[in-house]
Amino acid sequence: MTTRPHDRIRDLVLVGHGMVGQRFLEAWAEQPAARAWRVTVLAEEPRPAYDRVHLSSLFSGSTAEDLTLCPAGFLAEHGIDLRLDDPATAVDRDRRLVRTRSGTEVRYDALVLATGSVPFVPPVPGTDAPGCHVYRTIEDVDAIRADAETAGTGVVVGGGLLGLEAAGALRAGGLDTHVVEFAPRLMAVQVDDGGGATLRRKIEDLGVTVHTSAGASGVLTGPDGRVRGLALSDGRELAADLVVFSAGVRARDQLARDCGLPVGRRGGVVVDAHCRTEDPAVLAIGECAQAADGRVYGLVAPGYQMAETAARTLAELDGERSGPAGEGFTGADTSTKLKLLGVDVASFGDPHGTADGALDVLYSDSRSGVYRKLVIGADGALLGGVLVGDTEGYGTLRPLAVGGKPLTVAPEQLVLPAGFAGAAGPVALPDDAVLCSCHNVTQGAVRAAVRDQGCDSVAAVKKCTRAGTGCGSCLKQLGTVVTEELEAAGVSTVKGLCEHFAHTRAELYEIVRVTGLTSFTELLTRHGSGGEGCEVCKPTVASILASLGNGHILDGEQGALQDSNDHFLANLQRNGSYSVVPRVPGGEITPEGLITIGEIARDHGLYTKITGGQRIDMFGATVDQLPVIWSKLVKAGFESGHAYGKSLRTVKSCVGETWCRFGVQDSTTLAIELELRYRGLRSPHKLKAAVSGCARECAEAQSKDFGIIATSAGWNLYVGGNGGMTPRHADLLAADLDRETLIRTIDRYLMFYIRTADRLERTSVWLERLEGGLDHLRAVVLDDSLGIAAELDDMMARHIGGYRDEWAETLADPERLRRFASFVNAPGAPDPAVTFVPERGQIRPARPGEAGRTLDSPVLVAGARLEVLTP
Amino acid sequence: MTVQIHDGTRWQTVCTLADLQPGRGVAVLLPEAGQVALFRDRAGTLYAVDNLDPFSGAPVLARGLLGSRGDRPTLISPMYKQVYDLTDGRCLDEDTAPDGAPAVLRRWPVRVASEEAAA
Ligand code: SRM
Ligand SMILES: Cc1cc2nc3c(=O)[nH]c(=O)nc-3n(C[C@H](O)[C@H](O)[C@H](O)COP(=O)(O)OP(=O)(O)OC[C@H]3O[C@@H](n4cnc5c(N)ncnc54)[C@H](O)[C@@H]3O)c2cc1C
Ligand code: SF4
Ligand code: FES
């Protein structure tokens, strides 16, 4: 048995419970040596470690709890004594004691400093006036937010990463926002002149005013002592009610300085590759340390690497390290990829081309706001780069640059934005990624099926791998991979919609629009390849005809093209019954309306559920019951909710200003207005929308095809959001719009989408694919860059003018009603195969093998009666 | 003009030709034999197959769409969109239903009035 070098419990003291401190505690807890140590953490802040990187999300509705980094139970589990709100004030290295503000003394055998940094506030007069802020902690955010409520104009001093984040937060809070930057460009550390100029233009487009080559020379205050403006070094004065200083950070190394430990010339406790200071019992990590390469890192990833290094170094003392010692921490890659004020910015490797013989390859398009530069070494290897506006490829370029790998493609292909002829394609999915989650089929398995098992179509691949035979949501991706693989094998594939049309949906739309053809047969004969058509082209043409306003969707030949749901104006359920969803605009419904729906559901024995779209769904109707149910709904003033159509679904709302104490605009009224405006609009895929009354975003507008968030000055319009299978956060298209401009912009956005999107392509995917992206969209709908705005407006006006409730119109016409019979030879006979069993006081479809009952129409089976039916 | 289906024992008149919209189907209840999905395509040909969808177990095929794949007339299930060859009733996407049975629809003889229609 080996004797341990120490047999008493020893004391480890950590000063600072920030991001790096917490990571250190986690890494330390994993070391077997940790069992012989007692850990005390001295923290200055009033709460445990939280995610500072996402501090700005507090402005968009996240709470302090959302940001916490210290999982519940973590401290107790590891016996860590965390002392909040009691910072260390001095270190006595001779006696190995740390003194705290409350006057206690804590002994240590090992001390780890993780005190981070403080925002740098330039030494000019007035910076302590009320209205001046820094931006580092949750308390800072609270203070900025409180001031912003009454402020009209905010100035951020500092145009680096943090400054732009702060500017984004002020902007989102509805302030007229200015950024003052000392350097001649924004983000001087990460990007070059060209990138900085592109970034500046994009940010100015969002309404933020940028002043470069100007510093703050003093804060101007009013008679009440509060901030009223900022004096600039170039002599100008900016009016401001609020100033945020975000001009860099300084390492918090005072404790080390005071106890005689060496610090770097520009600050930072000097440590070696093992994160040890000159005193072997004291370590320093994170932003307060100057690493072995002489740099002070202001990013969290290098801090985390130091945290792990320090945990290993301490374990080494006990000879009980778990994991390799490695070479410690000798420096880190500072590549970054961010979205600042909605603008994508990435910088990696050596973005400034400082190496000898380094050359630039550059693509810049000021119109669309894209700037892409690669730095290439004398030997042809990729050294680094700057990407602004389009960061496609960052994922592959960064490792290439960091690894100093030679390029296998010509660099000019890599700077072209995705979608350009000649541009290298997007980063491919790895083959082990699961493509179909229903059947757990990887992309590799799909490729192998095409390559090795002779599958030459999606149908064949489905048969052989089962991919795509579950929920079907992976079919689009499956199609892409199969096509790619076939093309790679030299098999020619058709780009069109299906075997009947070589056109895309957008091309067909144009054909129908320009020729005015309304007959599918004629379209198929003249422009397609003949035959009968199929489940792809028929509903697509039906949707195009409906988008272009060709009367009732069930009339004439159109009726034969509709998908099953549209054909019965209801949603097919798993046992062959249907669900009924009346429109509830904005989710607002009267007690009378609720009672009517309740009565109808009760009388027909339907299952009711509140949907995720703020309305009520009634399930279990058979085809022949649909007209009876709808005649009652229509009589009570309800309309079709189009839950079955590729068309507008719901415009969700929050109660907004009318009731909510935080609301700044009447979101409910706007949501209702928008839902009524766009109801019945047929589109390439379904459309969902929402309106929130303030930035707390209770209506979840940023996950919608179009979402609106109220600001104190108007409405912010977000587009291209998606929930569902591939969630996408919506992009801010325009800010602070008045009602009229907002509606006009949405009109054009929707009509432009309907005109150019692919079949079953949600706005999220369409926007990702749209050449020129958000900027192009903005140019089309706001500046009429394509000269089609009047046409789009006109089409929307025609849609609105031509809207009729589909169900009311169906009920009024016996010809349209004929299809609602369970059996052509036994009208009125209910379908004996559609059966139900009771569950929780309502019905549900009987499962295979379960004896159920039919719902004889109309019959009362709700409530207590159901229990009697239980087998 | 009426449409008749042979239920295995005799021809039954089930509807008129005008009841059938080209490209769409109707469900027919045969008291002895269960449910049949009856279609007419745009060329005028009639098809009758089982109404039961082997993949969902729901009687819904009559609500599917007619189509064509190459020269073969097809029926697409409204539930999970499997495609069937109407000339032999076989599913073109998958050989077997989830219960292991072959995914083949029974075809029923069908005709207009008394003359034989293509089936
Ligand atoms: C009823 C409801 C679930 C519920 O019980 O709450 C529902 C039910 C269905 N959803 Fe949904 N979705 C419902 C809200 C949602 C939401 C939430 C929302 O709208 O806020 C989402 C995510 C938001 C989004 O779409 O971005 C949602 C994402 C989907 C998706 C995935 C879409 C995507 O882009 O990935 C599908 C599949 C599709 O459309 O291809 C889908 C498809 C369906 C279908 C149509 C599947 C089908 O073909 O049978 C379901 C039939 C509805 C029916 O029978 O009435 N449903 N579905 C909700 C009806 C809302 C309404 O009042 O209209
Ligand atoms: C708004 C914002 C956005 C950012 N965005 C990014 C980003 O996108 N990417 C990125 O990599 N980095 C980003 N950063 C930087 C990142 O947050 C820091 O690199 C990281 O937090 C450093 O961790 P740390 O533990 O060293 O310091 P901190 O997280 O600052 O923690 C230090 C802690 O020590 C406490 N302390 C100080 N002195 C004492 C004392 N004497 N006694 C007790 N406690 C003390 C402090 O109160 C603090 O809680 C951002 C920072 C901010 C503010
Ligand atoms: S309900 Fe509406 S107004 Fe109120 S907090 Fe939520 S989003 Fe803001
Ligand atoms: S994910 Fe492939 S079928 Fe559902």
ipTM: 0.72
Going A23 to A26 to A27 to A33, the CA torsion angle's sign is positive
Q: What is the mean pLDDT of residues A268-296?
A: 95
CA distance A432 to A157: 47
More confidently predicted of A238 and A6? A238
| Number of residues assigned to chain B | 119
Contact A534 B60 (CB under 8 A): no
Q: Is B29 on the interface with A (CB under 8 A)?
A: yes
Distance A18 CA to ligand 2 centre (A): 6
Between chains, do A567 and B24 touch, taking CB under 8 Å as contact?
yes
Tokens of A652: 């969700």
Residue A130 tokens read as 């009320």
Q: Which of A823, A831, A835, A836 to mutate to test the interface with B (most CBs of B within 10 A)?
A: A823
The three-class DSSP label of residue A380 is coil
Interchain pair A535, B76: CB under 8 A: yes
Cα separation, A496 vs A111, in Å, equals 67
Residue A766 has pLDDT above 90, yes or no: yes
Read off φ and ψ for residue B16, nearest 5 degrees: -95, 160
- Quote the tokens at residue A330: 């000798």
- Mean per-residue pLDDT for A455-462? 85
CB contacts under 8 A, A 502-531 vs B, are 521, 531
For residue A778, what are the CA distances in angstroms to A337, A417, A709, A752, A845?
24, 18, 18, 11, 47
Q: In what helix (H) or strand (E) does residue A484 lie, and over which residues does it extend?
A: helix A475-488
- What is the rounded (10 degree) CA torsion for B50, B55, B58, B60? -60
Judge whether residue A655 has pLDDT over 50: yes
- Cα–ligand 1 centroid distance for A540 (angstroms): 20
Token pair, residue A285, equals 């990590």
In this complex, is the C-beta atom of B35 within 8 Å of any C-beta atom belonging to chain A?
yes
Report the amino acid identity of residue A735. Answer: A
Atom of ligand 2 lying closest to residue A299 CA: 11
Which ligand has an atom closest to residue A461 CA? 4
Q: Which residues pair with A373 in a beta bridge?
A: A362, A386
Question: Would you give per-residue pLDDT tens digits along chain B (119 residues)?
Answer: 899 999 888 999 999 999 999 999 999 999 877 899 999 998 889 999 999 999 999 999 999 999 999 889 999 999 999 999 999 999 998 888 888 889 999 999 999 975 544 44
pLDDT at A829: 81
Q: Within 13 A of A479's CA, how many CA atoms are on the CB side?
A: 11
What's the CA gap between B35 and A80, in Å, rounded?
Answer: 71
Q: Write out chain A residues lying below 8 Å of B58, CB-based.
A: 574-576, 833-834
Check: CB of residue A560 under 8 Å from CB of residue B24: yes
Residue A865 has pLDDT above 70, yes or no: no
pTM check: above 0.80 = no
pLDDT of residue A50: 95
Whether residue A561 lies within 8 A of chain B, CB to CB, comes out as yes
B-chain residues within 8 Å CB-CB of A533? 23, 67-68
Q: Cβ of B96 under 8 Å from any chain A Cβ?
A: no
Q: CA-nearest residue of chain A to B38?
A: A824
3-state secondary structure chain B: CEEEEECCCCEEEEEEHHHCCCCCEEEEEECCCEEEEEEECCCCCEEEEECECCCCCCECHHHCEEEEECCEEEEECCCCCCEEECCCCEECCCCECCCCCECECCECCEEECCEECCC
| Per-residue pLDDT at A868 | 32
Left (φ > 0), alpha (ψ -120 to 50) or beta: where does A773 sit?
left
Q: What DSSP letter does each residue of A637-692 carry, written as one string?
A: T--B--TTSSBEEEEEE--HHHH-SS--S-HHHHHHHHHHHHTT-B-SS-EEEEEE
Q: Which residues line ligand 3 (CB under 6 A)?
A: A 654-656, 660, 662-663, 667, 692-694, 696-698
Rounded mean pLDDT of chain A?
Answer: 88
Q: How many whole angstroms from A691 Cα to the centroid of ligand 3?
A: 10
Distance CA A532, CA A708 (A): 43
Query: A871 touching B, CB under 8 A?
Result: no
Handedness of CA A613, A616, A619, A623 (dihedral sign): negative
Query: What would the mean pLDDT of A331-354 be, rounded to a whole number?
Result: 79
Give me the pLDDT at residue A853, please.
Answer: 86
Q: Which residues of A touch B87 (CB under 8 A)?
A: none
- Within 8 A of B94 by CB-CB distance, chain A residues are 462-463, 469
- In SS3 terms, A745-785 reads as HHHHHHHHHHHHCCCCCCHHHHHHHCCCHHHHHHHHHHHCC
**Looking at the partner chain, which of A561, A565, A574 has a beta carbon nearest the beta carbon of B56?**
A574
* Interval A527-556 mean pLDDT: 90
Q: Does A849 touch chain B (CB under 8 A)?
A: no
CA of A461 to the centre of ligand 4 (A): 13
Q: How confident is the model at residue A648 (pLDDT cuts 50, 70, 90)?
A: very high
Q: What is the number of other CB atoms lying within 10 angstroms of the CB of residue A149?
A: 9
Give the β-pairing of A249-251 and A117-119. antiparallel
Q: Which residue matches tokens 């005015």? A: A516
Q: Is A800 helix (H, G, I), strand (E, B) or coil?
A: helix
Q: Is B69 on the interface with A (CB under 8 A)?
A: yes
Query: In this complex, do B79 and A572 lie within 8 Å of one another by their Cβ atoms?
Result: yes
Nearest to A560 among B19, B23, B68 (CB): B23
pLDDT-wise least confident of A314-318, A436-440, A736-740: A436-440
Q: Has residue A265 got a pLDDT over 60? A: yes
Residues of B in contact with A834 (CB under 8 A): 58-59
Residue type (1 letter), A156: V
Q: Write out the two tokens for A202.
A: 């994009």
Can you give the pLDDT at residue A422? Answer: 52
Instruction: Read off the pLDDT of each residue in A382-410 and give the average, rounded to a whole number.
Output: 73
Q: Which residues of A touch B19 (CB under 8 A)?
A: 818, 824
Query: Tell me, what amino acid is at A1?
Result: M
Strand A648-653: give its sheet, edge to edge.
Answer: A648-653, A687-692, A706-711, A714-719, A731-737
Q: How far apart are the first and last CA of chain A?
A: 70
Cα of A320 vs centre of ligand 2, distance in Å, is: 30
CB-CB under 8 Å, A567 with B52: no
Between positions 460 and 479 of A, the ones with CB within 8 A of B are 462-463, 469, 472
Which ligand lies nearest to the CA atom of residue A686 in the structure? 1
Tell me, what DSSP letter sits at residue A2? P
What mean pLDDT do residues A413-430 have?
57
- CB-CB under 8 Å, A834 with B59: yes
- Model pLDDT for residues A37-51, shown as the tens digit of each residue: 999 999 999 999 998
| Structure-block tokens of residue A255 | 């404790």
DSSP category for residue A34 = G
Is B119 in the A-facing interface, judged by CB distances under 8 Å?
Answer: no
Checking A587-590 for CB contacts under 8 A at 24+ apart, the result is: A587/A614, A587/A615, A587/A650, A587/A652, A587/A653, A587/A671, A588/A653, A588/A668, A588/A672, A589/A615
DSSP string, A399-436: HHHHHTPBPSS-HHHHHSPTTSTTPPPPPPPPTTSEEE
More confident residue, B96 or A335: B96
State the greatest distance between any 2 C-alpha atoms of chain B, in Å, as a whole number.
Answer: 41
Closest by CA to A564, choosing from B70, B54, B60, is B60
Which tokens in the block code for residue A89? Answer: 């004030």
- Tell whether B5 is within 8 A of chain A (Cβ): no
Q: What is the pLDDT of residue A226?
A: 94
Contact A214, A142 (CB under 8 A): no
pLDDT at B114: 58
Kindly state the DSSP code that residue A158 receives in the 8-state scheme. Answer: -
In the structure encoding, which two tokens stand for residue A79, read together? 């016996």
Q: Among A539, A567, A574, select the one facing B58 at the smallest CB separation.
A: A574
Give start and end residues of each alpha helix (H) in A1-158.
Answer: 19-29, 74-77, 138-148
Ligand 2: which atom is nearest the Cα of residue A15? 43
pLDDT at A864 over 50: no
**What is the arrangement of strands in the sheet containing A37-42, beginning at the earlier edge strand?**
A81-83, A37-42, A10-15, A110-113, A282-284
Overall size of chain A counted in residues: 871
Candidate of A474, A480, A481 to mutate for ligand 4, largest count of ligand atoms within 8 Å of Cβ: A474
Higher pLDDT, A850 or A753: A753
C-alpha A2 chain-centroid distance: 55
Contact across the interface for A821 and B38, Cβ inside 8 Å: no
Mean local confidence (pLDDT), A668-686: 97
Ligand nearest to the CA of A438: 4
Measured in angstroms, the CA of B75 and the nearest CA of chain A are apart by: 9
- Interval between CA A156 and ligand 3 midpoint (Å): 27
A282, β-bridge pairs: A111
- Pick from A499, A532, A848: which is nearest to B42 by CB? A532
CA-nearest residue for atom 8, ligand 3, is A694
- Closest-CA distance, A455 to chain B, in angstroms, reads 12
Pull the structure tokens for residue A585.
Answer: 């605009």
pLDDT digits (tens, 9 = 90+) for A657-671: 999 999 999 999 999
Q: How many CB pairs under 8 A join A and B?
A: 115
Helix axes A520-527, A537-547, angle to 10 degrees: 110
Mean pLDDT of A502-523: 90
Element (H, E) at A89: strand A88-92
Closest by CA to A757, choosing from A544, A595, A439, A614, is A544
Per-residue pLDDT band at A484 (split at 50, 70, 90) = confident
On whether the CB atoms of residues A566 and A807 are closer than 8 A, the answer is no
For A400, the token pair is 């290439």
Residues A208-217, buried b or exposed e (16+ Cβ, 10 A)? Answer: bebbbebbbb
Which one-letter amino acid corresponds to residue B89?
G
- Per the CB < 8 A criterion, the answer to whether B113 and B1 are in contact is yes
Per-residue pLDDT at A2: 43
Residue A472 pLDDT class (50, 70, 90 cuts): low
Closest-CA residue, ligand 1 atom 53, reads A571
What is the Cα–Cα distance from A347 to A121, expressed in whole angstroms?
A: 26
Higher model confidence: residue A783 or residue A483?
Answer: A783
| A3: Cα separation from own chain's centroid | 55
Q: Do B29 and A833 touch (CB under 8 A)?
A: no
